[in-house]
A and B are shown apart, each in its own frame.
Chain A
Amino acid sequence: MHYKRPFAITWSLLLFFMLSLTACSSLGVKPWEREILAKPDMALDENHMDTAYDDHIYFSKEASSGGRVFSGGGCGCN
Chain B
Amino acid sequence: MQLKHKRILDVIALSSLSLLNASHVSAETPATNGDKDSPWKIDTAILYYDEQDRVNAVEPVINISKAFGEDSIFSARLSFDTLSGPSHNGASVSNEVQTFTSPSGEETYEVAPGDIPLDPNFEDQRTAASFQLEHKLGRLSTFGYGAAFSTETDYQSASLNGSLARDFNQRNTSLSAGISFTQDTISPREGVPVALSRMSNLESNGDEKKTTLDLLLGATQVISRNTLMQFNYGFGQSDGYHNDPYKIVSIIDRSTDSPEDYIFENRPDSRTKHSFYWRTKHQLNDDMIDASWRFMSDDWGVDSHTLDLRYRWNFSANSYLEPHFRYYTQSAANFYREDISSTEVLPQVVSADYRLGGLEATTAGIKWATKLDKQHEFNIRVELYEQSGDTAAADLSALITQLGYTFYF
Contact = CB atoms under 8 A, between A and B. Distances in A.
Interface string B1-28: 1111111111111101100111110011
A42 B222 CA distance: 11
A78 B122 contact: yes
B1 A77 contact: yes
A13 to B, nearest CB: 8
Contact of A58 (B173, B244, B312, B328): B328
Contacts of A20: 229
B225 A62 contact: no
Nearest to B324: A50
Contacts of B404: 49
Contacts of A8: none
B103 interface: no
A1 B388 contact: yes
A64 B296 contact: yes
B210 interface: yes
B359 A63 contact: yes
A48 B182 contact: no
Among B178, B278, B326, B404, chain A packs the most CB atoms within 10 A around the CB of B278
Contact of B183 (A46, A60, A73): A73
Consensus secondary structure, chain A interface: loop
Contacts of A51: 10
A62 B359 contact: yes
A30 to B, nearest CB: 7
Contacts of B23: 43
Contact of A44 (B49, B159, B220): B220
B207 interface: no
Nearest to A78: B2
Contacts of B59: 53, 56
A4 B329 CA distance: 10
Contact of A48 (B24, B27, B180, B290): B24
B164 interface: no
B155 A75 contact: yes
A44 B25 CA distance: 12
List 5 tightest A-B contacts by C-beta distance, closest first.
Answer: A2-B358, A72-B7, A28-B172, A60-B4, A74-B5
25 contacts: A5-B303, A17-B231, A17-B278, A24-B173, A27-B172, A28-B172, A37-B21, A43-B23, A44-B230, A45-B10, A52-B6, A56-B6, A60-B3, A62-B328, A62-B330, A64-B294, A66-B234, A66-B296, A67-B234, A69-B10, A71-B212, A74-B4, A75-B4, A77-B246, A78-B124
Given A59-B6, A75-B3, 17 more contacts: A2-B330, A21-B229, A28-B223, A31-B170, A34-B225, A41-B288, A60-B3, A65-B6, A67-B277, A69-B9, A69-B216, A70-B234, A72-B159, A72-B182, A73-B184, A77-B1, A78-B122
Interface of A: 1-5, 10, 13-14, 17-18, 20-21, 24-25, 27-31, 33-78
Interface of B: 1-14, 16-17, 20-24, 27-28, 43, 45, 47, 49, 55, 59, 61, 63, 77, 83, 87, 122, 124, 148, 155, 157, 159, 161, 169-173, 178, 180, 182-184, 186, 210-212, 214, 216, 219-226, 228-232, 234, 236, 238, 244-246, 273, 275-279, 281, 283, 288, 290, 292, 294-296, 300, 302-306, 310, 312, 314, 326, 328, 330-333, 355-361, 367, 381, 385, 387-390, 396, 400, 402, 404
